[in-house]
């Protein structure tokens, strides 16, 4: 959530209390720990792995963006940094224009479900195209993506897709 994280936490604590926040944080920590363990058990050669991240624009500053979010406490981005330290390559994943369009749509009181769905599909198509353009046959790709996305609908058949299903402890 980047810079919005403190406001989100304050609103959550005001509504549900500090103990629920701590409980929720522990659950998310457990989930991200389980994801890290599951990736490690795949036994990938991370020097031949590409990392793709939801909402990470193609911009030339991808590593700095991940570092900034990791330093703010994002477990997702901390995991990306860990995988990069082990040799994985971070790849800009999303169209900056489509991300800006989504931000504007979220701010609009006139937005519709159809507009949101069309924009999400456009983002998914872009992400799939980016993976196709940057992932070589001898490489593995790891995509961190939100549950509403359907990127795999647009991934070319040459790319084998496997899902990593984990649950927090």
Q: Where are the domains of the chain?
A: 2-154
Q: What is the pLDDT of residues 48-76, one digit of tens each?
A: 999 999 999 999 999 999 999 999 889 99
Question: What is the percentage of the chain residues whose pLDDT exceeds 90?
Answer: 74
DSSP 51-65: EEETT-BSSS-HHHH
Computed over every residue of the chain, the mean pLDDT equals: 92
* Cα 85 to the center of its chain, rounded Å: 18
For residue 155, pLDDT over 90 is answered with yes
* Cα 138 to the center of its chain, rounded Å: 23
pTM for the model: 0.90
Q: pLDDT band for position 13 (50/70/90)?
A: confident
Q: Which residue has the higher pLDDT, 8 or 139?
A: 139
Question: For residue 3, what pLDDT is reported?
Answer: 56
SS3 assignment, position 44 = coil
φ and ψ of 167, to 5 deg: -135, 150
């Amino acid at each position: 959530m980047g810079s919005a994280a403190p406001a989100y936490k304050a609103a959550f604590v005001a509504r549900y209390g500090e103990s629920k926040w701590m409980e929720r944080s522990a659950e998310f920590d457990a989930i991200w720990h389980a994801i890290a363990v599951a990736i490690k058990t795949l036994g990938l050669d991370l020097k031949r792995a590409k990392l793709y991240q939801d909402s990470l624009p193609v911009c030339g500053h991808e590593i700095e963006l991940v570092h900034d979010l990791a330093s703010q406490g994002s477990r997702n981005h901390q995991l990306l940094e860990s995988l990069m330290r082990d040799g994985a390559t971070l790849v800009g994943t999303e169209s900056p224009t489509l991300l800006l369009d989504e931000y504007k749509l979220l701010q609009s009181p006139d937005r519709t479900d159809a507009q949101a769905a069309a924009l999400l599909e456009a983002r998914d198509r872009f992400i799939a195209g980016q993976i196709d353009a940057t992932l070589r046959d001898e490489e593995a790709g790891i995509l961190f993506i939100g549950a509403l996305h359907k990127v795999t609908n647009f991934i070319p058949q040459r790319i084998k897709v496997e899902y990593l299903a984990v649950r927090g402890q």
